[in-house]
Amino acid sequence: MKYETIIGLEVHVELKTDSKLCCGCSTKFPAEPNTLTCPVCLGLPGALPVLNKKAIDLGITAGLALNCKISRECKFDRKQYFYPDLPKGYQITQFYAPICRTGWLKKEFPTGRRRIRITRIHLEEEAGRSYHSGAGIIDSDYSLLDYNRSSIPLIEIVTAPDLRSPREAKEFMEELKIILEYTGVSDCKMEEGSLRCDANISVRRQGDRELGKRAEVKNMNSFRAVEAALEYEAKRQIELLEQNTPLESEETRAWDEGNRETVFMRFKEKAYEYRYFPDPDLLPVIINDDWIKGIRNKLPELPNSKRERYIQEFRLPKDDAALISSSKPMAEFFEAVLKDYSGEPKNVSNWIIGDLVRLINQEKIEFHQIKLKPEALGQMLKILDQGVISSKIAKTVFEEMFYTGNKPEIIIKEQGLEQISDVQLIQEIVVKVMADHPQSIQDYLSGKKKAKSFLVGQVMKETKGKANPGIVNVLLEKELEKIKE
Amino acid sequence: MEIVEMSLGQLRKLLDNKEISALEMTKGFLGHIAQLDPEINAFITITEEEALFAAREADARIAKKEGITPLTGIPIAIKDNICTKGVKTTCGSKMLANFIPSYDATVVTKLKQAGAVLIGKTNLDEFAMGSSTESSYFGLTRNPWDLKRIPGGSSGGSAAAVAAGMVPLALGSDTGGSIRQPAAFCGIFGLKPTYGRVSRYGLVPYASSLDQVGPMARTAKDLAVLYHNISGYDPLDSTTVPLLPEKVNDLPQGLKGLRFGIPCESYDKKIDPGIKEKLLLVADLLEKAGCIPVEVSLPSLEYAAAIYYLIAFAEASSNLARYDGVRYGYRSEEQTDMISMFRQTREEGFGREVKRRILLGTCFLTPEYYEDYYLKAEKGRARMKKDFARAFLECEFMLTPTTTVVPNIIREKTDDLLSKYLSEVCTVAANLTGIPALTFPCGCINGLPVGAQLMARAGKEETLFRVASFIEGELGVVKGGIR
Ligand SMILES: [Zn+2]
């Protein structure tokens, strides 16, 4: 029997704003507990929320990047429940009229290219954070509360149940992350919790039309965890189906990273327990065409289309195009180099993906912090193409540019790194090296081809790597031929 | 004349002419409070120290002739559901009996900036839920006109304090009539401003879409001055309207040609015949002044009380969720875990009426009832707004009773919930439709004051002040009670 896995995601994304959704407090992280608070985000009696326009801007941005319809009236509702880290006894969210509806994200899966539908995106505020002395709030002696995160703006992106495997879910999340980073909607740091996702997953026999009862899986803190948790859960549900004991009611489960399994938490809450109703403290925000147009005009080219363009226009291999377009600063750097450099784009991507990424990782910095200027890399590649330096020297020049931010021509001049192409000079060194290593010549003559490489190496050593390797090879060959005869 | 009987204008003159210092004036009012309040119980907290300090500052301003406003040096009382930094703000509840806000409400900031002297926090029905000031955790307030009777509510403390001359001015809050009904019962003026004209920032909410802070005073002009000092757009309250502050000038006298609506529905109710008589007297005065009476119809008024309670209770159930014992306010000792902390704290911290409203409001918001109750009420509210808009095409203002009865004896109606709820029938419409409404005293029945209500289109407070001021001039000051 074949089974089909049906997955829909609810992705929580912390918005990249300086201040909170409903007050002026900073969203800085990390900070001393309860230092970034005020009467509003502490829910003190009488304090009132005032919306952060930037958060609405970013909500619209996310909607446009995901091809959604933007609501003309942005309204807020109260979601009510009791919990110590929820200071007002309700969360300000959008239940009845989300800011965005019905969009999609196109994604190339191993099974082909598909559109994953976005059902809705809504804005909401974060709760505070609890630190329990024990395992949970009920069995702890005490719990500590930090309201720094209270009222930090979030969007929740809800997909249709369009994903068909845990791997697709993971890949969708990766793509979504790239888009949200690109558009400046979020930092998307899963470790810091600025990107989280819950998954609704069910299985059915292939060919069945009706969806099975689903489980909501929470607490997946990395892309890998998303895949692993959903694989576990799909397998579990299929086994239940095979034993003729499928899920009977919808339940919420948590991924246990240590034991690599999903654990039952509770049966799913029904909507009424939240008693949603329109928040009377916030009047509807009217989003007009100009507002949307202003944001659309500022929307950057999205990674998907960049990737396509790199393949078409620059003839980059698929993997290079995907990697470079996956980071906005990297893509911008790549394109900036190509403004100065008219050689092969693949040369540029090689340097970025190779040496540059290696150095960045080594120095543990972010791409946008590098000293290296794109014009400098373009200039270096020109010089390399002209044969003024060897590709080996180029590596030295590149590192120097990376650490100092200096121009390549200055580095080459100051350190005397120019390639030696003077035949006369190289001829002299070749002769000297041959005289110094008679054994190597004997070896060569007795058929050991490796000996020649050794001699080339010695010439390069004498010239501190600056000799044009092509010329060295030709001259050495000539001299060896002479001896043979 | 004693200062406790004086109007704001008279007090101002004394201060400006240095016939009395603000410090002496404040001490005078504090003395009057000390004398009367043990019996009336209008105040929950008297901020003597802060008041004397503010009075000295006011004197310094007056001496330097710098930054003097109409309120500089004038004692004012604040209803105890309006946050005052460093001063207990209890909402008349055990839940907040020891709650000291870390910030000032916007209206309080404005009064302080104007140099007013905040003299104390006044009693109210618990969380402003009531119309008799009998449900306060800090005991009931008595009507200065007759100590056996209620002062009305929920701003009963402010009304009694102004009526008894303990302060010339006070702030109240009005969700369904909580300024106007006690003002009428205590024979003073009270205004429920247009929704969005006065900031709610720092007003502990009962029902956010209906609540407004408003002035209470002994003359129409005093009422207007206080209103102008507290109104205006506030970036901290998204529901305030960005309008330029209005200018206070001497109110114009002429009323000629103004049409006043008499909603037939308002007079069909079981109104005390004495009150009806007073209203007819007012109508006569208006006609004599050149106003034109127009009969208007507000069919949806019949449902006003039902709509009001559905919306107010629903919002209240949500607004009062934050009192959970976690961060501030009362926390029960009888708790062993999170759930019992929530449950016991709310069980012990809230009074009966508050719990009743929270439970009913919670019920109205569950999906089983949401559509049939809450949404229907919102639809009814929308229809009321249309009815009023239509009626206001035919008139500039309306004249109705403020209450259908005179103040009852204390504890007389404690258990008669329905009649209590229906007693707000005249006032709730202004809250539901967001329009301004003013009550003014228009005489007495058996030594008890009677109020009449004026309503106008949104933003037309000036019309109300003009009319009230005119009638005040015609009727003279309605006096009584134990000043
Ligand atoms: Zn804050």
Q: What is the pLDDT of residue B109?
A: 98
Q: Verify whether the Cβ–Cβ distance A48 to B201 is below 8 Å.
A: yes
Q: Is B374 helix (H, G, I), strand (E, B) or coil?
A: helix
Give the Cα separation of B463 and B399 in Å (integer): 12
Q: What is the pLDDT of residue B144?
A: 96
In the numeric block, which tokens belong to residue A60? Answer: 């619209």
Q: How many domains does chain A have?
A: 3
pLDDT (tens digit per residue) in A231-270: 999 999 998 888 888 777 888 899 988 888 898 888 876 6
Q: Domain check: are A306 and A450 in the same one?
A: no
Highest-scoring range by mean pLDDT, A175-184, A378-387, B181-190: B181-190
- Please tell me if residue A281 touches chain B, with a CB cutoff of 8 Å: yes
Q: Domain check: are A305 and A285 in the same one?
A: no
Residues B370 and B364: beta-carbon distance below 8 Å: yes
Question: Which of B7, B21, B79, B278 is flagged as catalytic?
Answer: B79
Q: Domain check: are A441 and A352 in the same one?
A: no
The domain that contains A457 carries what CATH number? 1.10.10.410
Whether B306 has a pLDDT exceeding 50, the answer reads yes
E strand or H helix that includes residue B212: strand B212-217
Q: Verify whether the Cβ–Cβ distance B366 to A275 is below 8 Å.
A: yes
Q: Which of A263, A291, A319 is the last residue of a domain?
A: A291
A contacts of B103 (beta carbons < 8 Å):
39, 44, 47
Side chain identity at residue A160, one-letter code: A
CB within 8 Å of chain B, chain A residues 439-468: none
Pick the closest to residue B177 from B417, B421, B341 (CA basis).
Answer: B421
In a domain, A296, yes or no: no
Contacts within 8 Å (CB) and 24+ apart, A367-373:
A367/A327, A367/A329, A367/A330, A367/A333, A368/A329, A370/A402, A371/A401, A371/A402, A371/A403, A371/A404, A371/A405, A372/A401, A372/A402, A372/A405, A373/A405
pLDDT (tens digit per residue) in A73-90: 999 999 999 999 999 999
- Least confident stretch, A25-29, A245-249, A401-405, B134-138: A245-249
- B269: number of Cβ within 10 Å: 14
Q: Verify whether the Cβ–Cβ distance A137 to B338 is below 8 Å.
A: yes
Cis, peptide link before residue B154, omega less than 30° from 0 = yes
- Please tell me if residue A84 touches chain B, with a CB cutoff of 8 Å: yes
Q: Is A251 helix (H, G, I), strand (E, B) or coil?
A: strand
Q: Domain check: are A432 and A411 in the same one?
A: no
Whether A31 has a pLDDT exceeding 50, the answer reads yes
In the numeric block, which tokens belong to residue A280? Answer: 């009377």
In the numeric block, which tokens belong to residue B21? Answer: 């210092």
The DSSP secondary-structure symbol of B214 reads E
pLDDT (tens digit per residue) in B76-127: 999 999 999 999 999 999 999 999 999 999 999 999 999 999 999 999 999 9
Mean pLDDT throughout A440-444?
A: 84
Whether B329 has a pLDDT exceeding 50, the answer reads yes
Pick the closest to residue A285 from A98, A20, A66, A23 (CA basis).
Answer: A98
Mean pLDDT throughout A122-147?
A: 90
Pick the closest to residue A143 from A133, A157, A158 (CA basis).
Answer: A133
Handedness of CA A272, A274, A276, A280 (dihedral sign): positive
B contacts of A138 (beta carbons < 8 Å):
337-339
Chain centre to alpha carbon of residue B85: 21
Whether A422 has a pLDDT exceeding 80, the answer reads no
Give A144 Cα–ligand 1 centroid separation in angstroms.
Answer: 19
Give the Cα separation of A287 and A70 in Å (integer): 8
- Least confident stretch, A220-224, A408-412, B136-140, B340-344: A408-412
Q: How far is B166 from chain A (nearest CA, A)?
A: 27
Q: Domain check: are A364 and A479 in the same one?
A: no
- B303 phi and psi angles, rounded to 5 deg: -95, 0
pLDDT (tens digit per residue) in B373-420: 999 999 999 999 999 999 999 999 999 999 999 999 998 876 677 766
**What is the total residue count of chain B?**
483
Contacts within 8 Å (CB) and 24+ apart, A163-167:
A163/A6, A163/A7, A163/A8, A163/A9, A163/A116, A164/A4, A164/A5, A164/A6, A164/A7, A164/A111, A165/A5, A165/A7, A166/A5, A166/A7, A166/A226, A166/A227, A166/A228, A166/A229, A166/A230, A166/A231, A166/A234, A167/A110, A167/A227
Give the Cα separation of B335 and B354 in Å (integer): 21
Q: How far is A374 from chain B (nearest CA, A)?
A: 45
Q: Verify whether the Cβ–Cβ distance A46 to B315 is below 8 Å.
A: no
- The answer to whether B79 is a known catalytic residue is yes
Q: Domain check: are A113 and A221 in the same one?
A: yes
**What share of chain A has pLDDT > 70, as a percent?**
99
B contacts of A44 (beta carbons < 8 Å):
83, 101-103, 328
Could you state, in order of their start, the residue ranges of all structural domains in chain B? 3-255+417-475
Give the Cα separation of A391 and B8 in Å (integer): 90
Residues B404 and B269: beta-carbon distance below 8 Å: yes
Q: Domain check: are A194 and A265 in the same one?
A: yes
Query: What would be the CATH architecture of the domain defined by B3-255+417-475?
Result: Alpha-Beta Complex (3.90)
The angle that helices B8-16 and B220-230 make with each other, rounded to 10 degrees, is 70
pLDDT (tens digit per residue) in A266-313: 887 665 589 999 999 999 999 999 999 999 999 988 888 888 899 998
Q: Is B238 helix (H, G, I), strand (E, B) or coil?
A: coil
Residues A36 and B320: beta-carbon distance below 8 Å: no
E strand or H helix that includes residue A122: strand A112-125
E strand or H helix that includes residue A148: none
- Please tell me if residue A285 touches chain B, with a CB cutoff of 8 Å: no
- Please tell me if residue A39 touches chain B, with a CB cutoff of 8 Å: yes
**pLDDT-derived band at B244, boundaries 50, 70, 90:** low
Q: What is the pLDDT of residue B170?
A: 98
- The answer to whether B154 is a known catalytic residue is yes
In whole angstroms, how large is the CA radius of gyration of chain B? Answer: 21
In the numeric block, which tokens belong to residue B433? Answer: 């439709």
What's the domain range around A405?
A: 301-415
Q: Domain check: are A339 and A441 in the same one?
A: no
**What is the total residue count of chain A?**
485
Side by side, the strands of the sheet bearing A251-256 are A69-70, A100-109, A112-125, A153-159, A3-14, A195-205, A215-220, A251-256, A261-267
E strand or H helix that includes residue B121: strand B117-122
Chain centre to alpha carbon of residue A270: 35
Average pLDDT, chain A: 89
Q: Which of A396, A415, A434 is the last residue of a domain?
A: A415
- Please tell me if residue A260 touches chain B, with a CB cutoff of 8 Å: no
Q: Is A11 helix (H, G, I), strand (E, B) or coil?
A: strand
In the numeric block, which tokens belong to residue A482? Answer: 């002479």
Residues B25 and B75: beta-carbon distance below 8 Å: yes
The DSSP secondary-structure symbol of A278 reads E
Q: How far is CA A317 from CA A111, A308, A312, A346, A353, in A?
A: 20, 11, 10, 8, 12
- The answer to whether B423 is a known catalytic residue is no
Give A105 Cα–ligand 1 centroid separation in angstroms.
Answer: 34
Side chain identity at residue A479, one-letter code: E
The DSSP secondary-structure symbol of A284 reads P
Average pLDDT, chain B: 93
In the numeric block, which tokens belong to residue B99? Answer: 């709650």
The angle that helices B461-475 and B273-288 make with each other, rounded to 10 degrees, is 100
Q: What is the pLDDT of residue B483?
A: 47
Give the Cα separation of B457 and B395 in Å (integer): 9
Give the Cα separation of B187 and B387 in Å (integer): 30
Q: Domain check: are A456 and A371 in the same one?
A: no
Q: Which of B102, B239, B322 sits opposite A43 (nearest CB)?
A: B322
**Angle (CA) B345 B351 B356, round 5°:** 100
Residues B44 and B123: beta-carbon distance below 8 Å: yes
Q: What is the pLDDT of residue B330?
A: 97
Whether B457 has a pLDDT exceeding 50, the answer reads yes
Give the Cα separation of B354 and B92 in Å (integer): 11
- A385 phi and psi angles, rounded to 5 deg: -60, -35
Whether the complex's predicted ipTM surpasses the cut of 0.90: yes
Q: Domain check: are A445 and A464 in the same one?
A: yes
In whole angstroms, how large is the CA radius of gyration of chain A? Answer: 30
Q: Domain check: are A279 and A329 in the same one?
A: no
Mean pLDDT throughout A38-64?
A: 97
Q: Domain check: are A13 and A76 in the same one?
A: yes
- A296 phi and psi angles, rounded to 5 deg: -60, -40
